[in-house]
Structure 1
C-alpha cells in the first residue's frame, strides 16, 4: 500500500510513459479514493482501540497471543463475566471450535470441529491463531514449543484451530475468574 502511494503520483506525473490524459485522470481519481479509504480505515481502527481500552476486560484480553483489539472487544461483549457458561469447554463449544464427538462407553472418537455457534468470533480467533503460528518458529517459550510440535504432528491449519480453542478457553477463564493472562500457564 505504501509503495503504491509513493509510486502512483510519480507515474501519473511522468509524461513519457504513454498514459493518455483520460487514463491519468481516472487513475488520479481512484488514487484519491484509495487514500481517503485508507484514512477512514485508520480512523475506524482508532475508534476500535478506544473502545477496547475503555473496557477493563478487553484490555486484559489483549495480553493473550493472537488477540487484537477487535477480537478482544467482541469477545468481552460476548462472554461478559463468563457466568453463562459452566466451563471453558462449554464456551469453546458455543463458538464451534471443539471437536465433535462420536463416542460410546470407553470408545471415544473425535471428529473435526463442529463449526456450530458464533462463526464471526470463531473466525477471528482462528485468524489470530494463524498470526501467532506464522511467528512461532525459532522461539523457545512454552507456547511456541508446543505450537511447533503441533504443527509438525498435525499441520498448520489444525494447529491454528487448536490454538483458537485454547485461546477461547483462556479468555473464558480470565473473564470468569477475573484474572490476568499468565504465559507460564499456557
Structure 2
C-alpha cells in the first residue's frame, strides 16, 4: 500500500507539473510570448520573465513568478518520489527481474509489483493483460471474429506506462533494428500506436510469466538465414 501511495502521489504531482506548465504558457501567450514545445520552451519563457521583458506588465510578472515557484517545488517533489520508488525497486528481486524486459524501467516494474501482489490470482498472461485493459474487444458476426480497439476499462495507470514503454521499444527498433522482426512486420501493416498496444499486450504476458513462474526475460535468438 505504501508503494502504491508513492505512485499515486507522484502521478498527482506530474499532473500538477503539467497544469502549471500549461498555465505559464497560456498566460504569457496573452502577451504575445510563445516558445517551442517541451521543457526548454518553458525555460525560455521563464528566462524572459526573470530578465524583465517589457512586454510583461509588473502585475502579470508577479503572477508568473508565483507559478514558477510552485513549478520548481513540484519538480523537486517528483525527483524525491522517483528516488524513493527507485530504492523500493532495487530492494525487490521480482521488480529487478521485471526491469530486464525491454520497455520496462524501474518505475513501471515497481508499479507492477505493487498493483499485482499475487500474480497467481490470474490464470494466464492473457487474463492479466485483460485486467490491465490491453486485450482488444471481440466482435463476432457471421462466424467471423473481428478484433476492435482496447477499452478504457482496466488499470489505466499500468496500461498507460506499458504503452509508453512499448512505444520506446518500437522507436528504438525503427532506428537500430531488433531481434524481434515481427515488430517491424506489424509496423508495416498497422499504425505505430496500434503496434504499441499489441507490444504492450505481449509485455503484460511476459510480466505474468516472470512474476507467476519465477522466470527471467530471455532475449530472442536471431536465427541464421
Fold shared, TM-score > 0.5 on shorter chain: yes
User: Which ranges in structure 2 are unaligned for 5 or more consecutive residues?
Assistant: 1-38
Q: In structure 2, what is the Cα distance between the partners aligned to 1:22 and 1:129?
A: 45
Q: In structure 2, what is the Cα distance between the partners aligned to 1:147 and 1:84?
A: 30
Q: In structure 2, what is the Cα distance between the partners aligned to 1:139 and 1:30?
A: 41
8 Å CA contact retained: 1:65, 1:132: yes
Query: Aligned to 2:155, which of 118, 141, 158?
Result: 118
- Normalising by structure 2, report the TM-score: 0.69
Q: In structure 2, what is the Cα distance between the partners aligned to 1:8 and 1:98?
A: 43
Deviation at 1:161, TM superposition (A): 0.9
Q: In structure 1, what is the Cα distance between the partners aligned to 2:83 and 2:169?
A: 23
User: Which ranges in structure 1 are unaligned for 5 or more consecutive residues?
Assistant: none
Query: Aligned to 2:218, which of 166, 179, 182?
Result: 182
Query: Aligned to 1:12, which of 20, 25, 50?
Result: 50
Deviation at 1:2, TM superposition (A): 4.8
User: 3-state SS of the aligned residue for 1:97?
Assistant: coil
Q: How many residues align?
A: 183
Deviation at 1:74, TM superposition (A): 2.0
Q: In structure 2, what is the Cα distance between the partners aligned to 1:87 and 1:161?
A: 18
- Normalising by structure 1, report the TM-score: 0.81
8 Å CA contact retained: 2:139, 2:148: no
CA deviation vs aligned residue, 1:104-138 (integer Å, no higher than 9, x gap): 9xx55142245343333222212221222233213
CA deviation vs aligned residue, 1:57-76 (integer Å, no higher than 9, x gap): 11111121222223211211
